[in-house]
Amino acid sequence: MDATRKPAALPVVELRFPPLYAWLLVGIGVAFAVLGLFLRLTTTHAPGLAVFIAVCGVAGAAGGNYWRHHLHCVARLTPRQLYLQREGTIDWTNIAAIEKKQLKTTYRGVRNTSEFVCIALKKKRPVNDRLTGFMHNLKSTITGYDIIVPDTELSCTADWFLAECRKRMDAASGSA
C-alpha cells in the first residue's frame, strides 16, 4: 500500500432490533387464526367467539409482519459517532474504554450466559432529570461503566459489535 494513500473511510452501519420477536408474533397470530377457524368449524355453541379469536390471530400476524419490516434502529456506527437508541450519540474520541462482559447465572439447574458491551466515557454527559442522573451515577459507581448494551438488543454478536467499535475508535483517534 502506498504511504501517501489514505485508508478507505469506514461505512455507516445500522444495527436493527432482532426480528425474532416479530416472527414469534407472526407465528402466534397464525396459530390463533387456525385455532379460531377450527373452533368455528367444529363447534356451534359460540361462533362469535371463534370468529373473534380468528380475527385477532390474523391481526396479530399482520402486525408482526409490519413490525418485521419496520424494525427500529438500535445502534448506528458512523465514522465520527456511535448512536445508541437509549443513550444518544457518543463521539468515538469520548470513549475511554469498551469491553465485553459476561454474566453467568444458574436457575433451577439451567446455566445461562448473558453478554454485555460496556462503555466508559472520558467526559460524562449532563443529565436533565434528577432521578435519571441518580440512576446513571449509581450504575457508573457499581459497574464502572457509563453505558451498558445487552447483546440481546443487537442483531449481531457482542464480539462483532466490539470489533467494529474498536476499528472506528482507532480511525477517529488517528485522524484527530
pLDDT tens digits, 98-153: 999 888 889 999 998 888 898 988 888 777 778 877 877 787 778 878 888 888 88
Q: What pTM does this model have?
A: 0.71
Closest CA to 156 of 2, 40, 18: 18
Model pLDDT for residues 152-173, shown as the tens digit of each residue: 888 888 899 999 999 988 888 8
For the record, the C-alpha cell of 167 comes out as: 476499528
Work out the number of other CB atoms within 10 angstroms of the CB of residue 119. Answer: 22
Rounded to the nearest angstrom, the gap between the alpha carbon of residue 176 and the centroid of all alpha carbons in its chain is 30
